[in-house]
Structure 1
């Protein structure tokens, strides 16, 4: 895997490219327990940058909803 840390997709996420060209991102900090219980994934993948950004946004949205009062 190649580390693409310089790629600015979403702050707080580290982007990597697999040897086969698939993009992966991992959140630099864990989600709160409630977010993980709601299904937020700390590591996600996508075929291209657009899909990866969409999946990251979904995880952040899940975390926000899980943290809402």
Structure 2
């Protein structure tokens, strides 16, 4: 019985879109761009790897660390964080 819901499964990596290339290689692209601070720290929005979950988690960790460092530096300098 069709209940009108999509049969497409939820993404395997929340917040990331999985892509299969013509060559059969898996890629993951983050749905939302990283902040400028995270990007400058090396977080990449689109990755390919044999272990996509580990690679996307690595990119998220880079972004978290960069944002936390920036917030800490702003706080240490007495700047208001918005």
Interval of TM-score (by shorter of Structure 1 and Structure 2): 0.7 to 0.9
Contact conserved, 1:13 with 1:25, CA < 8 A, in 2? yes
Task: Go from structure 1 to structure 2 and tell me whether the alpha carbon gap of 1:27 and 1:60 turns closer, same or farther (over 3 Å shift).
Answer: same
1:36 aligned residue: 39
Q: TM-score, normalised by structure 2?
A: 0.69
Task: Go from structure 1 to structure 2 and tell me whether the alpha carbon gap of 1:18 and 1:7 turns closer, same or farther (over 3 Å shift).
Answer: farther
The alignment's C-alpha RMSD in Å is: 1.5
Contact conserved, 1:7 with 1:15, CA < 8 A, in 2? no
Aligned partner of residue 21 in structure 1, secondary structure: coil
Greater fraction strand: 1
Q: Which has the higher contact order (CA 8 A, sep 6+)?
A: 1
Partners of 2:61 and 2:36 in 1: CA distance? 15
> Larger Cα Rg: Structure 1 or Structure 2?
2
